Structure 1
Amino acid sequence: CLSVVPKVLPEVLLEVSHPVNLSHTFYGIMFDAGSTGTRIHIYTFIQKDPVELPVLDNEMYHAVKPGLSAYKDKPEEGGNTIRALLKVAKKTVPEVEWKQTPVVLKATAGLRLLPEEKANALLDEVREVFDESPFFVPNNSVSIMNGTNEGVLAWVTVNFLTGHLYAKTRKTVGILDLGGGSTQITFLPKSKVNVKLNSTDKFREDWTFGGITYKVSGIPDGYAGYKLCYYEVMRVVKGIVHQPFEVKGSSIFYAFSYYFDRAVESGLIDGSRGGMVEVRDFKKRAKEVCNKMTKYRPISPFLCMDMTYITCLLKEGFGFKDNTMLQLAKKVNNVETSWALGATFDHFNNLNIH
């Protein structure tokens, strides 16, 4: 899904700091049920004074694999993964605060791609687990989130953590998110654009996802490598996305999820620090990975595929220039770069928690 931020930005009433003389602490629990794993984000907020805005103090993060969609035929087992993560929440949130602490789960591409009845069975199981828990369960606490909201809320998270949401200049950064079943690019538009990109996967042999088995094979004989891989990806990516002029300007884009993970795996950046890279750096490293061959096969075929896909998506799909700078980050101010914090803000606003 390709998404852009609407003209009316969500109201965000929190800021990061390390306050003293604390008067009240409260918590929020957000589950990110993605296609490759389920993650729990437990946020601690501090209210120093009733007339002042609360601040974000810290985040506890934990993840399990595989994602809920892997349990489409065994929803009870999927529910058990949520129970296990709720044990982390019980250890993090003081018992006296359990009844006041909202717990929310939002599922993304993994469940979006399942048949409706299987997705609903998993969501119903999660609802039962939530109802058994000692935490506060808001209305519509378990749902599937569309790709547009996923992109917008990730944008809110990153711009909040980098200080751009409450800066007087109103200058913001764009975000690039690449998950197991969908991808988002989100930025503050200078022109009204509304485009969508359906996610695609490329894999060898048989691969089942969302109830469908895909049969995909490479070249059995002859040279493969970067060029042919790039050509195959380009057939899927090029020409199906409107390329907004904003991506060709001077906007800063933060890239995370698989952009970060594959950059680390390929040695492009250090996993403990992240870093700033150019789009051409992905291209150069993709060539190096793909062209390390054992006879006719890359030594790391899946990494070759992923790095080539990222390169082609950035250049041919989104239209980034080779010298466009990308900030690769897993965390900002020690908080995960994902839509989860933005979604927590949204729920607190709806619950009138300020």
Structure 2
Amino acid sequence: MLNHTGYRGVISAPLLLVSLVLFQLPSVYSLNDGILSTNRKLLATTVTNSSSNKYAVIFDAGSSGSRVHVFCFDQNLDLVHIGKELEFFEKLEPGLSSYPTDPKAAANSLLPLLENAKKVVPHNTRQNTPVKLEATARLRQLGADASEKILQAVRDLLKANSGFKTNDDWVTVLDGSQEGSYQWVTMNYLLKQLGKKYSETVGIVDLGGGSVQMAYAISEANAAKAPKTTKDGDIYVKELFLMGTKYYLYVHSYLNYGLLAARAKILNVTKDANNPCILAGYNGVYTYGGVDYKASALSSGSHMKKCRKQAIEALKADGSTCTHKNCTFGGIWNGGGGDGQDHLFVGSFFYDRAEEAAFINASEPVAKVRPRDFKLAAKRACKTKLKDAGSAYPAADTPNLPYICMDLVYQYTLLVDGFGREPWKPITLAVRIKYQDALVEAAWPLGSAIEAVSVAG
């Protein structure tokens, strides 16, 4: 991967490579095609053997944990089965950022994932198989010195222990807009919408722990109206050429507005006072980014409307900071809207909380919902006391229980007040998408893998 300073302007070299290889891919798919239910555990089994197949190993070093994805492609860059699946995927916790002062321990935490990835890739192809690690928002927040030491330890580990093809530039902190672009390419690749009109593609919102990304294709007219740069110097619109079609991709990454970071922002609104988003009966401390925040409930417990006010203030979604005609939140241009975001796919923590709140079927990797479903779930959660939360939400991890009202309120507020989605307008929650006859993780690493095998030759 090129470094992120090269990812400015209308098109990056990596995405140009993606464009060239994707030009040859088939384009037949209906958004109404069925979704295959399966156990999410992936098995490392024999891959269809072909000397022309290419593999890529992608580590996603996220804020809440580390994940490894292994993909296999044929000569046309179509995905090839790995056993019964079209990828190998495993994850573990905690993430690299949990070792801010011990870079070697951070790197060694990846060893179980690395060893299992090696079992998937045939031995005679490993030296030509690119391995990349791309860290997201949380590692950025450790500061340049600490994050670089961790990344260097990972580079050393991969060179010494992986047997894969590695490059120092392939172990890096992923730029937020690059993450959003990869995610958009991944989703539309899996849905086989690439090559169609921009209005037939799908938009994405990916809610991680430290940041949230939005990306969708916009019209040429809206692209021409885009402000030149954001306040942090990034551009709003990327030009991509995919499968013979030119796309103007609106993409923005909102650092510090991921779900875990948002908890800190909401708690900081009330500072040392009790917070209306915390479940009744909880009196504790929430730690994020090395900072402790008072996380204690009101004597009356959590309250939906009061929590909404906190979330809106944390989002800066009242329009007071907007200097453009249309903004999402925090003064960020919204891309102008349009058909490219009509079909909106949202993932990561949106799916997880919906599963924990039990308003989607946990056995299905894709679910059609509406933003108001998060509001209804939040109303129920905010009436729950901590002592009852475990039985009310058996699918939720215990550390998340005090914050379940807050999380659901924030997600509703983010969709409706932040991104301007109508409460009744459908969205699709997705963690895995049917491609051919199997399921593939609907995440940005696939877009990164496409780049990697292209660069590796």
1:313 and 2:414 are equivalent in the alignment: yes
Matched with 1:282 is 374
1:13 aligns with 2:21: yes
Question: Is 1:75 the counterpart of 2:83 in the alignment?
Answer: no
Cα deviation, residue 65, structure 1: 0.4
Tell me which amino acid in the other structure corresponds to 1:213. V
Specify the alignment match of 1:263 in structure 2. 354
Deviation at 1:112, TM superposition (A): 0.9
Cross-structure match for 1:206: 285
Q: Deviations over 1:55-110 (max 9, x none)?
A: 21120001010110001122211111222211011110011111111101000011
Decide whether the 8 Å contact of 2:155 with 2:168 is kept in 1.
no
Pick aligned residue for 2:433 from 325, 332, 342? 332
The CA deviation string for residues 236-276 of structure 1, in whole angstroms up to 9 with x for no partner, is 11132444441698610111100111111101111221310
Q: Which residue of 1 aligns with 2:451?
A: 346
Post-superposition offset of 1:11: 0.5
Report whether the alignment pairs 1:150 with 2:207: no
Is structure 2 residue 273 aligned with structure 1 residue 216? no
Aligned 8 A contact 1:243 1:317 in 2: no
In 2, are the aligned partners of 1:13 and 1:54 still within 8 Å (CA)?
A: yes
Q: Which residue of 2 aligns with 1:303?
A: 404
Q: Which one-letter code corresponds to 1:89 in the other structure?
A: A
Tell me the residue number matched to 2:66.
38
Normalised by the length of structure 2, the TM-score is 0.69
d(CA) in 2 for partners of 1:248, 1:115: 39
- Residue type at the aligned position of 1:232: Q
Distance 1:198 1:99 in 2: 36
* Counterpart in the other structure of 1:140: 169
For residues 308 and 97 of structure 1, do their structure 2 counterparts lie closer, same or farther at Cα, with a shift above 3 Å needed?
A: same
Quick one: distance in 2 between partners of 1:336 and 1:263?
18
Match of 2:213 in 1: 184
Measured in 2, the distance between the counterparts of 1:248 and 1:320 equals 13
Is the CA contact 2:307–2:406 (under 8 Å) kept in the aligned structure 1? yes
Per-residue deviation, 1:222 = 2.9
Name which of structure 1's ranges 34-43 and 240-249 shifts more when overlaid on structure 2: 240-249
Deviation per CA, 1:306-325: give whole Å up to 9, x if none: 11110000111111111221
Q: CA 1:328 to 1:202, structure 2 compared with 1: closer, same or farther past 3 Å?
A: same
Does the 8 A contact of 2:202 with 2:341 survive in 1?
Answer: no
Q: Which residue number in structure 2 is paired with residue 50 of structure 1?
A: none
Rate the CA distance shift 1:98–1:21 in 2: closer, same or farther, 3 A: closer
Please give the secondary structure, in 2, of the residue aligned with 1:99: helix
Distance 1:157 1:6 in 2: 21
SS at match of 2:304: helix
Between 1:166-175 and 1:151-160, the stretch displaced more is: 166-175
Residues 346 and 429, structure 2, Cα contact 8 Å, conserved in 1: yes
State how far apart, in whole Å, the 1-side matches of 2:189 and 2:303 are: 41
Q: What's the secondary structure of 2:110's corresponding residue?
A: helix
* SS across alignment from 2:262: coil
Quick one: which amino acid aligns to residue 159 of structure 1? N
Alignment deviations for residues 290-331 of structure 1 (CA, whole Å, 9 cap, x no partner): 122369999743111111110000111111111221111110
Cα offset, 1:159, TM superposition: 0.5
More deviation in 341-350 or 304-313? Answer: 341-350
Aligned in 2, Cα 1:318/1:170: closer, same or farther, shift over 3 Å?
closer
Per-residue CA deviation, residues 185-218 of structure 1 (Å, 9 max, x unaligned), is: 11112323436634242256433333x3132344
Q: In the alignment, is the contact (CA less than 8 A) between 1:29 and 1:40 conserved in 2?
A: yes
Residue pair 1:67, 1:110 contacting (<8 A) in 2 also: no
Distance in 2 separating the partners of 1:234 and 1:137: 44
Amino acid of the structure 2 residue aligned with 1:206: V
Q: What does 1:23-172 align with in structure 2 at a 5 Å threshold? A: 24-47=52-75, 53-57=76-80, 58-132=86-160, 133-167=162-196, 171-172=200-201
Aligned counterpart, 2:245: none
Whether the 8 Å contact between 2:198 and 2:217 is mirrored in structure 1 is no
Deviations 1:122-161 (A, max 9, x none): 1011001011121111351200011111111001000000
Q: Is the 8 A contact 1:247 1:320 kept in 2?
A: no
User: Aligned equivalents of 1:331 and 1:277: distance in 2?
Assistant: 16
- Count of aligned residue pairs for this structure pair: 341
Q: Look up the equivalent residue of 2:214 and give its one-letter code.
A: I
SS at match of 2:454: helix
Indicate yes or no: 2:306 matched with 1:228. yes
The CA distance in 2 between the partners of 1:339 and 1:100, in whole Å, is 22
Classify 1:101/1:248 alpha carbon distance in 2 versus 1 (closer, same or farther; 3 Å). Answer: closer
Structure 1 gap segments, 5+ residues each: 48-52
CA RMSD of aligned residues (A): 2.8
